[in-house]
Structure 1
Amino acid sequence: MIKPILIASFFFIFLATHAQQGSNRLPNGFVYVKDIIPHLEVDLPYCGHHNFIGKPIQGYLEPQTILTKKATEALAKVEKELNKNNMGLKIFDAYRPQAAVNHFVKWASEPNDTLGKAEFYPTEDKRFLFKRGYIASKSGHSRGSTVDLTIIILDSKKEIDMGSPFDFLGEISGHSYTKLSAQQLKNRKTLKSVMEKYGFRAYSKEWWHYTLNNEPFKDTYFDFPVQ
C-alpha cells in the first residue's frame, strides 16, 4: 500500500510542475495578473464578439490578463488603496499581441466592415480612426505595461459611471471632455489620481488607458498569444 504521505508528496510535485509549465508560457518579466491580484475583476471583450470590430481578435486564445511583473506590482498597490474605500479594479485589456494590433489595422482598411459602428463609434468615420488616435499600427499594450481598466464597487461588482463605456471611440471618452455630470467627472478623476499616484500615466483620448511610466520593455513589441 502506498503511504498517504507519499501520495501527498506526488500531488504537490504535480501541482508545482503544472504551475511551472503555465508560467513558462510567458517571457521573462511577464506574469498573469490574477496570480498577484487574485480578486481582480476581469472582462476581456477582445476574446469574444462584443468589441468595436464585432469579432474575436486574433492573438486572444484564452481570457487571461497578462502584464509585466513591474506593472502588475504597481497595479496591486492601486487595488489595495481602492479596497480601503470598498472599490476595486476591473481590467478590460492588458498585454496585447502584435497580431491583434495587425487585426485592427486590417479591419480599419475595410470600409464596409462596420459591425460595431452603432455601439462603439457612431459619430466617427472608421477611415479616420488612425488619424484621430484611436488605433495605431504599434500599441503600448504590446510592450506589456499598458492596461485598460475601470473602477468597480466591491460589494456589487458594478462599474462606476465614467460617462462613456470602454472602447467608445469618440470625443466623449477623452480626459479633456467636460460635458459630463459632476459625478462622472469625479469618477474619472478618482481613477486618474490613484493610477498616477502609483506610477501610471493616462492617454488623453481614453479615460480607461494607462501606461506604467518606467515600463521595462519600452522599445519592445511582443507577439506571443494571450493564453
Structure 2
Amino acid sequence: MRVSGPAGAPRRGGPARRLLVGVAVALVAAAGAGCTRPEPAPRPAPTRPGLVVLSDVDSRIRSDIRYATAHNFVGRRVDGYPEALCLLTAPAAEALRRVQDAALAAGRSLKVYDCYRPQRAVEDFQTWARHTDEQQMKAEFYPRVAKSELFDRGYLGAPSAHSRGSTVDVTLVEVPVPEQPGYLPGQPLVACTAPRDQRFGDNSVDMGTGFDCFDPLAHTDSPGIGDAARENRRLLRQLMTDGGFVGYDREWWHFRLRDEPWPDTYFDLPVTRSSTD
C-alpha cells in the first residue's frame, strides 16, 4: 500500500520528488557547462632573459672570449659576438661569483672562454660545418676527428645550452694570474692534444688539452691525461658542482647551472652590453 501525506500528496522523498530534483540538477549542470572558463593562453617566450655582464658581478674572474676573436675552431669572429663579453643570467653570474670565492680559497682563479651564446652563433657553426673545405683551424682544434663528425659526436650541438644564458665554458688559472700571449692569425698551429708546453700558450693550468679541443682526450674522465691534469679537472669539477653547476662528460670546460631560470628557452640577442637588462 502506498503511504501518502495530507490530501493524498506523495511523501517527501518519493518518486515525484526525486524526479524534480534530478531535473533541477541537470539544468544547473547544463547552465554551468555553457559558462566553463577557457584555458589560459600560453605565455609568450620572453625576448630578454635578464642577462648581466659577468665582470660587473665579479671583476676577479678572468675572461678570454674566443668567439669574439679569430682564435677558435672556425678561424674568425663568430656571428653574434660584436663584443668580447661574458653575459650570463643573474643567477648564473651570482653562482659563478661564489665559485670564484671557493677557487681563490684553493689558490686558483676562474677564467671563462664562453658564456651566453646567441642562436645566430649556433647557426653560424652549422653553416660552417656544412662547408667541408673550411678547415684552416683543424690542426689545432680537431686534429684527430673528421669535421663531418663534430655534431654527431657531441662536440657541437644545436640548439645549444649556452643560448639559454646559464651555461659557461671555464677553466682554472694560477694566482697571481700569468700573462697570456696574444694569438696572431696565421701563426703555426699546434694540436690541442699536444703537451701543455707545446700547444698554444694559454695561461690556464694544465687540463690535459686546450679549450674547444674536439677529441676524446678532452672527455672529462679521459684516462689518457697526466696526473696533474687529472687533478686540475677534478678540482674544477668539484668547485663547479659544489657551486650548483652540472658538467658535460665530453668537455672538461663545459658547465650548466643546475637550476637555470630558462631551461626550455633559447635566445638570440647579440653579445653586447646593450643586451643586458
Determine if the TM-score, normalized by the shorter chain, exceeds 0.5: yes
Question: Which runs of 5 or more residues in structure 2 are unaligned?
Answer: 1-46, 179-202, 273-277
TM-score by length of 2: 0.71
State the distance in 1 between where 2:65 and 2:256 align: 18
State the distance in 1 between where 2:125 and 2:49 align: 27
Q: Corresponding residue for 1:208? A: 253
Q: Corresponding residue for 1:165? A: 210
* Correspondent of 2:60 among 21, 32, 39: 39
In structure 2, do the counterparts of structure 1 residues 119 and 126 end up closer, same or farther at CA, with 3 Å as the change threshold?
Answer: same
Q: 1:35-62 CA distances to partner (integer Å, 9 max, x unpaired)? A: 1111211101101111001011000000
The answer on 1:54 being equivalent to 2:75 is yes
State the distance in 1 between where 2:145 and 2:103 align: 34
* Correspondent of 2:229 among 175, 184, 198: 184
Aligned 8 A contact 1:86 1:155 in 2: no
Q: Cα RMSD over matched residues?
A: 1.1
State the distance in 2 between where 1:149 and 1:222 align: 21
Q: Corresponding residue for 2:90? A: 69
SS in 2 for 1:99: helix
State the distance in 2 between where 1:183 and 1:47 align: 30
TM-score by length of 1: 0.87
State the distance in 2 between where 1:92 and 1:190 align: 18
Aligned 8 A contact 2:49 2:262 in 1: no
Q: Corresponding residue for 2:108? A: 87
State the distance in 2 between where 1:195 and 1:54 align: 29
Q: Corresponding residue for 1:218? A: 263
State the distance in 2 between where 1:182 and 1:28 align: 40
* Correspondent of 2:142 among 114, 118, 121: 121
Aligned 8 A contact 2:49 2:165 in 1: no
Spell out structure 1 runs of 4+ moving beyond 2 A. Answer: 26-29
Q: 1:107-155 CA distances to partner (integer Å, 9 max, x unpaired)? A: 0111111011000001111111111001112000000000001001121
Aligned 8 A contact 1:111 1:126 in 2: yes
The answer on 1:199 being equivalent to 2:220 is no
The answer on 1:155 being equivalent to 2:156 is no
State the distance in 1 between where 2:92 and 2:153 align: 27
SS in 1 for 2:112: strand
Tell me by how many angstroms 1:86 deviates. 2.6
The answer on 1:136 being equivalent to 2:181 is no
Q: 1:76-109 CA distances to partner (integer Å, 9 max, x unpaired)? A: 1100011113311000000000000000000011
State the distance in 2 between where 1:81 and 1:71 align: 15
* Correspondent of 2:118 among 97, 102, 111: 97
Higher relative helix content? 1
Tell me by how many angstroms 1:28 deviates. 4.9
SS in 1 for 2:172: strand
SS in 2 for 1:150: strand
State the distance in 2 between where 1:172 and 1:179 align: 6
In structure 2, do the counterparts of structure 1 residues 38 and 172 end up closer, same or farther at CA, with 3 Å as the change threshold?
Answer: same
**Equivalent position amino acid for 2:213 in 1:** F
Q: Say which is worse superposed, 152-161 or 91-100, in terms of deviation.
A: 152-161
State the distance in 2 between where 1:34 and 1:202 align: 22
**Equivalent position amino acid for 2:212 in 1:** D
Question: Which runs of 5 or more residues in structure 1 are unaligned?
Answer: 1-25
